Each structure stands twice: as structure tokens, then as C-alpha cells.
Amino acid sequence: MDIPIPRADVHAVAAFQNLSGTSAPFSLPYGFYWVDFDAADPNAGTTVAVLDSGGNTLVTVGQNTRGFILGGPLGGGGFQVGPSNGASMTMVASNGIAQSIVVQG
């Protein structure tokens, strides 16, 4: 028997395709977010970091291991945007190419 579980009203708010290196700056409103990605080469050890305008790392995550984007506990990580860090952020992919990066919140 399937019992429906209520879910929060969460949407993809930013996305990047085939990122290698640093993205163009972007901004998000204050809130809590989850970033997840799929690597082009699952054996490369690709990571993705979200940096604020001061170069501070908000979160660094390993690749999605669930097999589908908007994953959960087996891939990705959460971060918070507040008055001091949401104006201009960048996404940085290291050790390979991040094919699909999705920020949800």
C-alpha cells in the first residue's frame, strides 16, 4: 500500500549545464537551498561548491549517487542565503565536468 507523504513546496531555482570551472555570478533570495548534480564521469571525483561574493564556501558537495537529479541524502548538500552572502554567488566545479547542477529551494 502506497501512502502519500506530504512534501514541501520546493522548486528548482537555479540550474547549470556542463560546468567546468566557475559559473557566471548569480543571486538568490534569502532562504535555505539544496544543491545537487550529476558528473559527466562518475569516476572523476567531481565536486561542486557554492561560493559567496567574498569567496567563502557555503557548501561543497559530491556527485549525486541516486541516479536522478533532485536527489536527497545520497548526493548534494544544503546551504543558507542571508543578508551577507546572497547578492552575488558563483558555482565552482572541480575535478571534472558537472553535467546537470540544480539548486532547489
Q: Looking at residues 53-75, what average pLDDT do you find?
A: 71
Report the top-level CATH class of 17-100.
mainly beta
CA 22/CA 5 separation, integer angstroms: 37
Domain residue limits, the chain? 17-100
Top pLDDT among 77 and 91 is at 91
Beta strand ranges found along the chain (DSSP E): 12-22, 31-39, 47-51, 57-62, 77-81, 90-104
CA 16/CA 31 separation, integer angstroms: 20
Q: Looking at residues 78-101, what average pLDDT do you find?
A: 89
